[in-house]
Amino acid sequence: MQKKLFFLIPIVLVVLAILVPTASMANRSANAPIRMQSTVFVPTQGETPNIAQDLSLASYAAGQRGYYIVQFDGPVRQEWKDAVAAAGGELLGYIPDYAFKVRMNPAEASSVENLSSVAWVGVYQPAFKLSADLKLDGINLYTVRAERGVNFGLTRAAVAQTGAEMLGYEGDIMVIGADAEQISAIAQVTDVAWIENFKLAQKHNDSGAGVIIGGNAANTNGYDGSTQIAAVADTGLGDGTAAGAHRDIQANRIVSINNWPGVTDQCFQTIYDDGAIDVDSAHGTHVAGSVLSSGDPQTGLGRGTAPAAGLVFQATENYVRVSNFCQLFGGYPAYAYFLTGLPADLNDLYQQA
């Protein structure tokens, strides 16, 4: 009898070891919330987000490819994603917890919903496209991003049809002027992915690299960047030439200086291209120095993070005449220096380095 008892104990332990993680996983997936910027809800418990009617969507027409949230049963496995793709879904981006934004039509969504690894499928609501801090009082300037892989021309036309003022566009980004009613209509445009307040790129931090990212410690241990090329996109560099960049940024370390003037649009009506010269604030020269200035040879005063690295510089600031519309609704001055050369898709900038 005693031997049988000892024999049964390991069996019980093995069964418990199998059942406990399974129960834990089931409990975890059953309680997993969907965390959007503006709301959190647990769809598997019947919770639904509180969404205004003009920012909600019940369903898509038969055959229409739209956007859904697919929540899996737990931490996402590659084979689960593969199963969604095999059913016709295109996974676009992760949503916590255990979910993805997926492009598919209603029939494909129904097939995905029946997968054993899927806990819930629901329409990606237009309300989810709005930044939580969106200004909705009066007319404001906004940045609107189209979903990747769509016909940008058609999406742009659909946005314009809402009555919003199209101020400029590049890549998959539009800059518009609109009121709250128009923003709701734009959120209903199927292939619009995101809407946020328009923000001009501005110069802020100009110090701290040595301490914040550990440049001083790296230099002390013999790392000086001599085998590396650093890229800096900023206002300008010295007088715009390698010889006249700065005494601590030697010409033989400058790989290239590139001028990115930008393009005019309904906001920046005139751009006065001054080349790569650092005219207004010397911010770009300072930042380039913070990155790779050689500093004083005796004291090290003014030494950058990578004092022997090469430099690719991209000058992006110019003097601008701003449209009356952007003065009135964006609060911008009539004339000022702005980083006009920064493209909507920064990958274009990165490729040059």
- Local confidence band at 119 (pLDDT 50, 70, 90 cut-offs): very high
- Local confidence band at 29 (pLDDT 50, 70, 90 cut-offs): low
Residue 239: cis peptide before it, omega within 30 degrees of 0: no
Please give the average per-residue pLDDT across 306-331, as a whole number: 94
Residue 181, domain CATH: 3.30.70.250
**Is there a contact between 183 and 195 (Cβ–Cβ < 8 Å)?**
yes
Rounded Cα–Cα distance for residues 113 and 98 (Å) = 15
- What pLDDT sits at residue 222? 76
Domain that holds residue 110: 58-124
Residue 44 maps to a domain: no
* Residues 242 and 315 occupy one common structural domain: yes
Please give the average per-residue pLDDT across 198-214, as a whole number: 62
Please give the average per-residue pLDDT across 262-273, as a whole number: 93
Strand order in the sheet with 310-315: 229-234, 310-315, 254-259
Residue 105, domain CATH: 3.30.70.80
Residue 36 maps to a domain: no
* Residues 75 and 153 occupy one common structural domain: no
**Is there a contact between 271 and 300 (Cβ–Cβ < 8 Å)?**
no
Residue 51 maps to a domain: no
Q: Residue 206 pLDDT > 50, yes or no?
A: no
Question: Token match 């022997």: residue?
Answer: 308
**Is there a contact between 83 and 117 (Cβ–Cβ < 8 Å)?**
yes
* Residues 220 and 304 occupy one common structural domain: yes
Question: Token match 């039509």: residue?
Answer: 105
Please give the average per-residue pLDDT across 280-290, as a whole number: 93
In this predicted model, which residue has the larger pLDDT, 266 or 253? 253
Q: Which of 70, 202, 194 is nearest to 132 (CA)?
A: 194
Residue 187 maps to a domain: yes
* Residues 100 and 86 occupy one common structural domain: yes
Q: Which of 122, 43, 30 is nearest to 74 (CA)?
A: 30
Domain end position, chosen among 197, 223, 247: 197
* Residues 148 and 257 occupy one common structural domain: no
Rounded Cα–Cα distance for residues 225 and 77 (Å) = 39
- What pLDDT sits at residue 201? 73
- What pLDDT sits at residue 5? 47
Rounded Cα–Cα distance for residues 53 and 57 (Å) = 8
Residue 1 maps to a domain: no
Residue 4 maps to a domain: no
* Residues 114 and 135 occupy one common structural domain: no
* Residues 120 and 133 occupy one common structural domain: no
Rounded Cα–Cα distance for residues 110 and 325 (Å) = 46
Domain end position, chosen among 101, 124, 147: 124
- What pLDDT sits at residue 30? 64
Interior angle at CA 18, CA 17 and CA 22, nearest 5? 115
* Residues 167 and 64 occupy one common structural domain: no
Interior angle at CA 311, CA 306 and CA 315, nearest 5? 125
Residue 40 maps to a domain: no
* Residues 249 and 174 occupy one common structural domain: no
**Is there a contact between 342 and 260 (Cβ–Cβ < 8 Å)?**
yes
Residue 151 maps to a domain: yes
Q: Would you call 258 helix, strand, or coil by DSSP?
A: strand
Supply the mean pLDDT for the chain. Answer: 89
Q: Quote the radius of gyration of the chain (alpha carbons, Å).
A: 27
Strand stretches in the chain, DSSP E: 34-35, 40-41, 66-72, 90-95, 99-104, 118-123, 140-146, 165-170, 173-178, 192-197, 229-234, 254-259, 268-272, 310-315, 318-322, 335-338
**Is there a contact between 261 and 273 (Cβ–Cβ < 8 Å)?**
yes
Q: Residue 67 pLDDT > 90, yes or no?
A: yes
* Residues 141 and 120 occupy one common structural domain: no
* Residues 290 and 213 occupy one common structural domain: yes
- What pLDDT sits at residue 15? 44
Of the candidate ranges 51-60, 69-78, 189-198, 338-347, the one whose mean pLDDT is the lowest:
338-347
Q: How many CB atoms lie within 10 A of CB 337?
A: 19
Domain end position, chosen among 151, 172, 197: 197
Considering its fold, how many domains does the chain have in total?
3
* Residues 113 and 147 occupy one common structural domain: no
Please give the average per-residue pLDDT across 253-267, as a whole number: 94
